[in-house]
Chain A
Amino acid sequence: MGKVVITDVSRRFFMDDKTEFLALDSLSLTIKDDELVSLVGPSGCGKTTLLRIIAGLDHPDSGSVSLDNILITKPGPRVGMVFQEYSLFPWRNILDNVAFGLEMKKTGRKERYRQAQYYIDLVGLTSFTFCYPYELSGGMRQRVAIARALANDPDLLLMDEPFGALDAQTRNTMQEELLQIWEKQKKTIIFVTHSVDEAVYLSDRIVVLSSDPGRVSTVIDVSIPRPRDRTSPEFASIRRDVLRLLTLLDTTPGKI
């Protein structure tokens, strides 16, 4: 479960000088069940806007997004989200953060703690169960955020540059862990990133967006079997393709 159909989604913003900015221009995209898709593109191409619309946090001016044939109009537990900034609730310890979604579903205390503990173990933070977010490093916090989103058992997981604030080393480790979790949990994942390397390493498909207006420029299939070797020729070749596309797209003078 977790097929996403994006149909003719447009979203415009008005700038301070009353000029219009077309962040998304009748964009259509279908994402298969259990697929891991990355969105890349020059800054201002509407990656985050698209993700927020899929989440139900923003609304398209026209077009629609559906998940398993049910329209998404407002945020809800069917879709999980891992934000770029630290979004853990600082007043709750790790266990209560991860159990939050289950608490909203009125799951009993014992059951929700049991399930939350499972996901905390899954992201390797067993010994931090009763810590508060401020006691954790950036990478650990994002792991908790992933556990918190997964504990709600969403059909679709959205990730908005979740590892953007982490150092290169931690980033690589987190990517490996995400793939391991994805193998175990089998979810549809839409992953926004600035890093081409990250996109090639993780994705089944890479969707390259153009900016002003925001459209799907190219979709690239990544058929390299996992685990992928970042230094292999196939990896480098796909990387080069994506980078070339991005360079081309970036030369068009864009507005902020």
Chain B
Amino acid sequence: MHDKRKINWLYTAASLITCILIWQAVAVYIVGNPFILPSFTDVLLAFILLLGSGTLISDLTMSFLHFAIGIGLALLIGIPTGILMGWFEKMFTFLNPVIEIIRPIPPLAWIPFAIVWFGLTNFSAGFVIFIGAVFPIIINTYTGFSNIPKIFVEAGQMLGCTKNRDLIRFIAFPAAVPHIAAGFRIACGVAWMCLVAAEMFGVSAYGLGHKIWWYYHLHQMTNVLVYMLILGIVGLAVDALFRFYIRRSLLRWQTGEVH
């Protein structure tokens, strides 16, 4: 077991090193133009310089702010909507047509209205992220609620849990947590993708997405690549953190259950 893990780590390292070596070779010997393809060492150097110049932290903070506004709103609105749709059949029939029409509209198509409604503010960026994140949360919450085994509801009723409010709180919600958590994870991925676009239209002077566009205008493609990689790595870290947390706390009971 321990050895297998060690070997897996070796493969991961080998994969990354091979990729970097090929990248470096192609950039230096084949392309030979850092504007078209900056090499790995160029990017590393630029990253160290950017660390020194100091906007990196401000960019990260600003992006997290936009992300938090979007995801926060999506949870606040998505979970109750999903619960209503999953628990009350009439609410589903009432809300579903609207949701199904709005859902296919790409979140980025909302940018003009985001600006008209909220101006060039952080909230405006948060709104676009919200649009991207809210639907996976609604749909997964709804799916979780409509798939609750009937036996749990009946067992609850027999034990005196008979009001809708109590059934939702004590039976349906905990039973749906795995679905809701999966929806949240998908929403985080979509939100992270919307972040770049939402920041590109210039709501603030900072932000990871904003800086990509900014350095593009300055023709500093090496810095563009640095910020792209940061987006990838931070996105990965957020997802890993979330998975770690979920496994440890929320879903302890799910171990060994077949789903």
- Which A residues lie at the B interface, using CB under 8 A? 55-57, 74-77, 79-81, 83, 85-93, 100-101, 103-105, 132-135, 148-149, 152
Interchain CB contact (< 8 A) of B152 among A57, A77, A87, A93? A87
Q: Main SS of chain B's interface residues? A: helix
Q: Counting CB contacts under 8 A, is B158 at the interface? A: yes
What would 24 A/B residue contacts be, using CB atoms closer than 8 Å?
Answer: A55-B158, A75-B158, A76-B157, A76-B158, A80-B158, A81-B154, A81-B158, A83-B154, A87-B151, A87-B155, A90-B253, A90-B257, A91-B174, A91-B175, A91-B254, A92-B174, A100-B170, A101-B159, A101-B160, A103-B170, A104-B161, A104-B170, A132-B252, A134-B257
Q: Counting CB contacts under 8 A, is B54 at the interface? A: no
Across the interface, name the chain A residue whose C-beta is closest to B177. Answer: A91
Across the interface, name the chain B residue whose C-beta is closest to A148. Answer: B159
Complex A-B, nearest 8 residue pairs according to Cβ-Cβ distance, in ascending order: A77-B160, A75-B157, A101-B159, A134-B256, A104-B160, A87-B155, A81-B158, A91-B174
Interchain CB contact (< 8 A) of A100 among B154, B159, B255? B159
A86 to B254, CA, bound (A): 15
Q: Counting CB contacts under 8 A, is B61 at the interface? A: no
Interface string of B233-259 (1 = CB under 8 A from A): 000000000000000000011111100
**Minimum C-beta distance from A201 to chain B (A):** 25
**Minimum C-beta distance from B160 to chain A (A):** 4
A89 to B166, CA, bound (A): 15
Residues of B within 8 A of A93 (CB): 253
On whether the beta carbons of B154 and A57 are closer than 8 Å, the reply is: yes
Residues of B within 8 A of A134 (CB): 253, 255-257
Interchain CB contact (< 8 A) of A132 among B160, B170, B175, B253? B253
A83 to B156, CA, bound (A): 12
Chain B CB within 10 Å, residue with most, of A77, A88, A93: A77
A99 to B64, CA, bound (A): 42
A86 to B152, CA, bound (A): 9
A81 to B161, CA, bound (A): 13
